[in-house]
Amino acid sequence: MNRIPIYLLSFIATFISFYTVANPLQPVITEPVHRQDGYEVFRVFAGRVLGSQRADIGFEQAGVVQQVLVDDGQAVKAGELLAKLDRRSLNIERDQLKARQQELNARLSQLQRDVVRYKALREKSYVSEGQLEELETQVTASQAQSAQIDAQLKAINLQLEKTELKAPFNGEVAKVQVEEGVVVGQGQVVMQLVETGESEAVFGISDRLGRDLVMGQSMQVSGDFGDIDTNLIAVASNLDWRSQTRTIRVALPENTSAVDGNTAYIHLPQHREATGFWMPAQALLEDVRGTWAVYGLQKNAEGYQVQKHSVEALYHHRGRVYLSGELADGSLVVTEGVHRLAPGQAVVLAGQANADDVKGKPAVGNASEVNVPEVNASEVNASAINAAGGGDASRAE
C-alpha cells in the first residue's frame, strides 16, 4: 500500500505548528449568572434643602425704620439686634408719664401725712369723722392713679422693646426687604432669617412609595453638595391636591455643605418582580430588530465555545443592566470585548490563557515524532503533494 512520503508529513506538521502559534485561542473575561426573582428600581425625586427654621420676621408694631443693622447673607446669633424703629414719640410719652407719676407721688405723700395728722386731731375732736374719711378716700384714689401710671409705663416700655427687631435663633439673613426711613406696618415682613447648623430636605414623592416608608428609615440624598446619608423625619399623611404627591422630610447632618435653597435629589428603591440577572452594560450587543443579546460560553472538549443568547434589558443602573433571558444560573457570560467575538468561536477563560493550558500548542521535536494516521496515496490531493516538492504519490515508504 502506498504511503505519504516522510517529507510531506514533516511539512504538514510544520504548517499545523505555525497555524497554532499564529492563531491562539481568544481569552475572554466572564461573569457568572446569578438568577433572582426581582430587582430594585431606584426612583429619583427632586426637592429642596431648607433650614430647620425659616422665618419671615417683622416688627410687632407700625413705625418708621430708623436703622437696619444687618445685610443679606450675614450670620447672626439668637438675640442679636437686627433693626430698629424710630422711638422718639414713645420716649416723649414715657417722659410725660414719669412726670405725672412724680407729681402724683408727691401729692400721695402729702395726703398720707395729712391722714396721720387728721387721725391725731380726730382723737382730740378737732376734726370730724367725715373729714378724715374724705382724706382717706383721696389717698386711695391717688394710689389707684399711681398704679395706673405704672401700668402705662410698663406698656410704653414694652412698646419700646418692640421697636427693636432681634434674631429669634442662630441663623443667616436670607433677604432684607426694607430700607431705613421706610414706614412699615404691624407684622409687615422686614427680613427673612434661616436657621444654620441644622437643615433638612423636603421632597414630594408618589403616594404609593410614601405609604411604604418608615420613620427613621435611612435614605440617600444627592446634589451639588455630594451624596449624603440621611434619616426620614416626617411623612405627610395627606396628598398635595395640586401635584398629587406626598411630602416627606429628611434630616441633613450638621457638617454637610448643603445650604438653604440647594436642589436635592432623593433615591428611593422600589422592588419589581421579574426573574432575571444583573450584568455589566458592556456585556450587551445589538441583535436583530433592535433587540439585545449576550455571549454565553458552552464548555466542550476543546475549552469553551461562544454562543449567542437573546435577552431583554429591563433596567439600567450605574453601569449594570438587569436582564431577562433563559441563561441558567451559574452560566458564564462574556462581559468585555464582545465586539471581537463571533458565535461558535473557540475561546479560553482569561485566567487560563497561558500556553501550558491551551490545547493545540506547537509540537515539540521533529516531524517523525508527530502521530499522524496512515493515509492512502490515492486519497491525497495531488496539488498538495506538488506544493510539497513535486514528489510522486507512488514514492511511498
pLDDT tens figures, 328-352: 999 999 999 999 999 999 999 987 6
Q: Are strands 303-317 and 346-349 parallel, antiparallel or unpaired?
A: antiparallel
Q: Determine the average pLDDT of the residues in 222-234.
A: 91
Cβ atoms of 165 and 81 within 8 Å: the answer is: yes
Model confidence band, residue 7 (pLDDT cutoffs 50, 70, 90): low
According to DSSP, the residues that pair with 300 across neighbouring strands are 303
Tens digit of each residue's pLDDT (9 = 90 or more) over 81-101: 999 999 999 999 999 999 998
pLDDT at 300: 87
Confidence band of 379 (pLDDT split at 50, 70, 90):
very low
Q: Are 186 and 60 in contact (CB under 8 A)?
A: yes
**How confident is residue 367, by pLDDT bands cut at 50, 70 and 90?**
very low
The pLDDT of 263-281, averaged and rounded, is 94
CA distance 132 to 122: 8
Give the rounded percent of residues in the chain with a pLDDT score beyond 70. 82
Per-residue confidence (pLDDT) for residue 110, from 0 to 100? 86
| The three grid cell numbers given for residue 201, joined into one nine-digit string | 430636605
Write down the pLDDT at residue 4: 53
User: pLDDT higher for 218 or 260?
Assistant: 218
By C-alpha distance, which of 217, 218, 210, 202 is closest to 246? Answer: 210
In this prediction, residue 374 carries a pLDDT of 37
Nearest 5°: phi and psi at 325? Answer: -170, 180
Residue 286 has pLDDT above 60, yes or no: yes
The residue-averaged pLDDT of 353-365 equals 41
Radius of gyration of the chain (CA): 48
Pairing of strands 303-317, 30-32: unpaired
Instruction: Supply the pLDDT for residue 370.
Output: 33
Inform me whether the pLDDT recorded for 283 exceeds 50. yes
372: its cell numbers:
499522524
pLDDT tens across 180-205, in order? 999 999 999 999 998 877 788 999 99
Q: What is the DSSP string of 35-91?
A: -EEEEEEEEEEEEEEEES-EEEE--SS-EEEEEE---TT-EE-TT-EEEEE--HHHH
Question: What's the confidence (pLDDT) of residue 371?
Answer: 37
Are the CB atoms for 74 and 307 separated by under 8 Å?
Answer: no
Model pLDDT, residue 88: 93
Residues pairing with 41 in the sheet: 270
Please report the pLDDT score of residue 261 as a whole number. Answer: 84
Q: Which triple of cell numbers denotes residue 329?
A: 444560573
Q: How far apart are the C-alpha atoms of 324 and 312, rounded to whole Å?
A: 5
Quickly tell me which residue has 427693636 as its cell. Answer: 164
Q: What own/partner pairs with CB < 8 Å and gap ≥ 24 does 212-221 have?
A: 213/248, 219/250, 219/266, 219/267, 219/268, 220/266, 220/267, 221/250, 221/252, 221/264, 221/265, 221/266, 221/267
Residue 1 class from Cβ within 10 Å (0-12 exposed, 13-18 middle, 19+ buried)? exposed
DSSP for residue 216: T
In which band, very low, low, confident or very high, does the pLDDT at 105 lie, cut at 50, 70 and 90? confident
pLDDT of residue 392: 38
Is the pLDDT at 218 greater than 50, yes or no?
Answer: yes
Beta bridge partners of 229: 220
| Rounded (10°) angle between helices 88-123 and 129-162 | 160
CB 234 within 8 A of CB 228: no
pLDDT in tens, 10-38: 555 554 444 444 457 889 999 999 999 99
CA distance 39 to 37: 7
What pLDDT is stored for residue 138 in this prediction? 86
Architecture of domain 24-39+274-377: Beta Barrel (2.40)
- Asked whether 73 and 173 are in contact (CB, 8 A), the reply is yes
pLDDT of residue 23: 53
Separation CA 134–CA 142 (nearest Å): 12
Q: Please give the pLDDT value at position 375.
A: 34
Q: Which residue has the higher pLDDT, 74 or 127?
A: 74
- Cβ atoms 90, 96 nearer than 8 A: no
Residue linked to cell 414706614: 183
CA distance linking residue 316 with residue 300, whole number of Å: 33
Q: CB–CB of 243/204 below 8 Å? A: yes
Q: Amino acid letter at 347?
A: V
CB atoms within 10 A of CB 51: 22
Average pLDDT value over all residues in the chain = 81
Residues 114-160: tens digit of each pLDDT? 777 777 777 777 777 777 788 788 888 888 888 899 999 999 999 99
